[in-house]
Amino acid sequence: MRTTILYVTAATVLLTGLVYLWLQPQPSRLQQVLDSNELRIATRIGPMTYQPRNYGISGLDYDLARRFAEFLGVEASFHPVHQDGVLTLLARDKVDMAAANLAISKARMRDFLFGPQYHTKAGVLVGPRNQSLPASLDRLGEFRILVPAGSLFIENLEDLQRNFPEFQWRERKKVGIEDLMSEVVSAEDKLALIDSNEFARIRFLYPGIKKAFELVKPQPVAWAFQKSPDLSLYLKAVEFFQDISLSGELQRLIVLYSGFDEDPEYLDSLRFTERLELRLPEYRDLFVKAAYQTGLDWRLLAAISYQESHWDKDARSHTGVRGLMMLTNQTAVQMNIEDRTDPEQSILGGAKYLRSLLERLPERITNPDRLWLALAAYNVGPGHLEDARVITQKQGGDPNQWFDVKPRLRLLADKEWYSQTRHGKARGHEPVNFVENVRRYYEVMKSLDKIEVETDRVERLLARDIVTSPVL
């Protein structure tokens, strides 16, 4: 009898415990993230989302999601997959959110909750430059359209096919934009339908590719969350985007990842890619050495040199600047350079000069604006840059942000404005072009793994264990 009572008592305690656990509310999604100290993020491998390179990881969604994790006070854990797997991970509760340049559609909104819109993207058709590409829907029947599996653009293609039965398209599984670009560059009857932002980001790498036309109009882009009554993490994302929008950080990141002001000229792009192979190897070790000595990125120095001299050690201009880094005689003297036509001295002199310009800027200016402003000063001089910053402030802009100062540099050629400045007239369009071109060349060289410097090569150069050149 006593044994039976004990069994009943134990069963009652167990049942009471189970009922208590069942009635006890589960921690919210946000609390689970905070308790685990980990924000799990599904993303897609691509130039706008999550792009692993030898020098590190880049991407608009990567940078934004990393900042969101910092906003929450937790670690960011990225789960990069191909496009067709991003929402699958979210649906199966393997991640807390998806940050993958996801366009919002009615079909997706039925299954997922989307955060604030932070960008837009369109679908552009691209194909070989040496082919006659369509400019409208009329000739699409002549081509096969390739698109990554899982792309939102598939919904648009399905709608289009209802009106154009002859229209053909094919999904490519587990491929990225670069794979599609490589496939269509030499094809006669293929086009790729790709994200307009990603095309703008890497088009300089593919001089043999050009845009046909925009097939899918711009659509809003946002992060995705699980659709449930628990809105705790979603509401934090809304708060996060409000903060970075008001601070201007969101716009700065979007501009940083949105390509450049002008389409790269075909011949310029072709010449650059050729000289990467033919000229750069001769001077690469010198760029690496100067980068180590000044704490800069060697690819940044190489980008400046290409803009200045096209890696021609005998280059000179009508204004008297000479050498690989096109130093003035005055700058060479300031940097203790005896022979500015000597490649090693020229590169080191240019690196030391850029470092000095970076250090002279006010501490409140942060990267990447600090770098772009220093590059402008490299071209036009620190005095003229300061004049443009003063004009920026007078006009209500932010003198610490490149994209506010840039249009004011052009005003230095306008008498109404340069007459009010300390250093007078300047050809303000030149530093603007200089910075934009250096940005483009720098991004290309960062994207090409084949020109990364191996550790053993650096060891031989500098007799050190490892080189740590911070990327500014």
Give catalytic residues, as residue numbers. 308
Q: Tell me the three state secondary structure of residue 40.
A: strand
Q: How far is it, in rounded angstroms, from Cα 423 to Cα 140?
A: 56
Alpha helices (runs of H) in 335-454, residue ranges in sequence order: 343-360, 369-380, 382-394, 402-409, 415-418, 429-447
Q: How far is it, in rounded angstroms, from Cα 118 to Cα 348?
A: 41
Among left, alpha and beta (phi > 0; psi -120 to 50; other), residue 212 is: alpha
Cβ neighbourhood burial of 376 (10 Å; 0-12, 13-18, 19+): buried
Q: Tell me the three state secondary structure of residue 327.
A: strand
- Residues linked to residue 103 through DSSP beta bridges, in sequence order: 221
Cβ atoms within 10 Å of 11's Cβ, excluding its own: 10
Q: How far is it, in rounded angstroms, from Cα 46 to Cα 178?
A: 8
161's CB contacts (< 8 A; 6+ apart) are 167, 169
Token digits of residue 30: 């946000």
**Max CA-CA distance within the chain?**
110
CA distances from 345 to 244, 332, 341, 443, 457 (A): 43, 9, 8, 25, 21
Q: Position of tokens 């398209």?
A: 169
- Vertex 307, ends 127 and 293: CA angle to 5°? 120
Token digits of residue 51: 């792009």
Q: Position of tokens 């587990």?
A: 174
